Structure 1
Amino acid sequence: MGSLTVLPKLLVVDFNKDGMKPGTSSWISAGKDIRQALEQHGCFVALYDGISSDLNDRIFHSADDLFNLPLETKLKNINGKPYHGYVGQIPIVPLHEGLGMDYATTLEGAQSFTDIMWPNGNESFCTTSVEFARSVAKLDHIVIKMLFGSYGLDEMYTDAHIESSTYLLRYLKYRAPEADESNNAFPSHTDKSFITILYQNQVSGLEIRTRDGDWIDVEFPPSSFVVMAGDACKGWSNGRVLSPSHRVTLNKEGKGTRYTIALFSFLSKIVQVPEEMIDEENPLQFKPFENVDLLNFYATEAGRRSQDILKDFCGV
């Protein structure tokens, strides 16, 4: 009789707990847990009540509105940065479609995207998107403060990082597969962001690859998020943090369309390993780099084929 492999469960962090304030024992303890989770699995589940039930309903209604637009309109979502605009109509991933709103925590960013999609205006879409992005960005800020504090970095360093973060909001849709279609909705990849925060409707499908190479199904409890490290965070941490491969696989007996609303943070300043992360046991692995240059490299054939993108892009 074969031995049963027990797959790890992802860490669940409750950010709604009373007393979760900077400097408190619960804050420091959560920071340590988050750091270990990001080093081991590259992600964790966050319970965070920043999205009211009303905003939850509105953001998924907004997703419906957006994906119901004609294809020629959606194709106008163009961005000079790779994978920031419309992605869809790809024969090898027919179930997936996504659109991106850059600088989504700013009214200008949201308005600019909305004006392209709805030249006659769609105020509720614009305000809902900004409200959602800003709420989730607050969670990103808390995670950064905890993670950086856990590594012994000071408040000034942390604040400078947060100030130079920009946010891309991506509306992602995965339609249910037909009987004769593969249920591979999106292939395995790592994100090029610093941090990615995912929020989904009730249709599951996200799978994460652990450091040991096991694939685990991610369960989203109600009003929860998955917080995931991207390649920029792995580079910044001198390889300590895992940027996990992840994919979307839909159940053939699925519950319909899967919507994910994803907030990606990118750094507008140079990504550089802090001196505190370098010692004899952890010699410098990566040269300083621009986050957008990492994206651009990923968009090349060499970048897409790379088995270790950070090493190939900026390895020492």
Structure 2
Amino acid sequence: MGVNAEIEFPVIQFRSSDLERGTDGWRCLCKRVREACETFGCFEVVYEKISTKVREETFGLMKELVEVPLERKQKNASPMPYHGWVGPCNQVSLLYEGFGLGDASNYDSVKSFAQLMWPDGHPRFCNTVHTMATQIEELNKLIWLMLIDSYGLGEKWESVMINYKTLVRFMKYMAPPPGEYERGLFAHTDKPVSTIICDDHVSGLEIEVNDGQWIKLSLSPSSFCFVVGDPLKAWSNGRLKAVNHRVMMSGNKDRFSLAAFAIPVEGTIIKAPEELIDEKHPQLYKDFDFMDFFLFAFSDPAKHIDSGEQLQAYASLSPPISH
């Protein structure tokens, strides 16, 4: 398993026979998903509804994307942090390059992005990426529904489900110099609500399971990694863990990965459902505007706070415990 082999990381298979709400299979799956998210803050989901063909085509297209001229890449700009193109730099990593495609399950958004990158708008890119983004969005909603059901909130799921759009980031991590083990992306917790990651089977993603103890994940061709972000931790009143993760590169192969981030629509307030607040579980975080928190996390004051402590600094209702 890499850095620490004796820890058994949760791998959960989503069989279509278990995906019908109300069945024993569904209830069992909900419990496993919740426990994985409470203990690890992430899990590997084996989900064959997204075909390996679409996945392989997407990674093939990403290899075309990183070859477009620099002046075209720079057109993928956004005032929002990490929503546009980021080239190799000291702040992130000299091995990293990433593109941002907002509202990726909307075909017109994909088309607008492709027209910036290629003069002909690359219809195959549009069709493949739109399919992939739409199917990942379905998977994310399915996992959220499992968490909602698992906490006994199923009857009011529509009112507690967060309305969001999917930001897809296409990322390339270059192989480091021979024999080196180098940072591809610094350790952090995610600021969107949740993230689904898949890669081209070149490993590099590592998660922190205990203080300072990391394990390297190697995803199978039909699996994805679901990651709990800070807002989902706040929504669950601290029950779910926002996991610290990073990318570390070794070996001689570049790594391509795709991350689909759930970005709530503007004006969304993150708040724990009242059923998750009681005497045993007092409210840990104030209700907050997602976008205000997101912008705070990338602001100058927050840069001096450990990423995993930013939610605490921004929204905690209790004073920090002094060590």
TM-score normalized by structure 2? 0.91
Question: Percent identity at matched positions?
Answer: 35
**Equivalent position amino acid for 1:260 in 2:** S
After TM superposition, give the deviation of residue 103 of structure 1 in Å. 0.2
**Equivalent position amino acid for 2:82 in 1:** Y
Q: CA–CA distance in 2 between the matches of 1:293 and 1:59?
A: 33
Offset from partner CA, 1:119-150 (integer Å, 9 cap, x none): 43111111111100001111111101101110
**Does residue 78 of the first structure (1) align with residue 92 of the second (2)?**
no
The question of whether the paired residues in 2 share the 8 Å contact of 1:101 and 1:110 is answered with yes
Structure 1 match to 2:311: 310
Structure 1 match to 2:54: 55
**Does residue 208 of the first structure (1) align with residue 240 of the second (2)?**
no
How many pairs were matched up?
309
Q: CA–CA distance in 1 between the matches of 2:185 and 2:83?
A: 16
After TM superposition, give the deviation of residue 221 of structure 1 in Å. 2.1
3-state SS, counterpart of residue 269 of structure 2: coil
After TM superposition, give the deviation of residue 156 of structure 1 in Å. 3.7
Offset from partner CA, 1:175-227 (integer Å, 9 cap, x none): 10123865211111111111100011020011001255421111212310001
Structure 2 match to 1:37: 36
Q: CA–CA distance in 1 between the matches of 2:239 and 2:174?
A: 36
Offset from partner CA, 1:32-88 (integer Å, 9 cap, x none): 111111111100010001222321221011101111111221111112221111112
3-state SS, counterpart of residue 36 of structure 1: helix
The question of whether the paired residues in 1 share the 8 Å contact of 2:18 and 2:29 is answered with no
Q: CA–CA distance in 2 between the matches of 1:7 and 1:111?
A: 45
Structure 2 match to 1:146: 146
**Structure 2 unmatched runs, 5+:** 318-323
Sort the Cα spacing of 1:210 and 1:181 in 2 relative to 1 into closer, same or farther, 3 A. closer
Matches within 5 A, 1:134-283: 134-158=134-158, 161=161, 164-179=163-178, 183-251=182-250, 253-254=251-252, 256-268=253-265, 269-283=268-282
3-state SS, counterpart of residue 88 of structure 1: coil
Q: CA–CA distance in 2 between the matches of 1:235 and 1:112?
A: 34
Q: CA–CA distance in 2 between the matches of 1:181 and 1:294?
A: 36
Structure 1 match to 2:321: none
After TM superposition, give the deviation of residue 23 of structure 1 in Å. 0.7
Q: CA–CA distance in 1 between the matches of 2:191 and 2:42?
A: 14
TM-score normalized by structure 1? 0.92
Q: CA–CA distance in 2 between the matches of 1:187 and 1:19?
A: 37
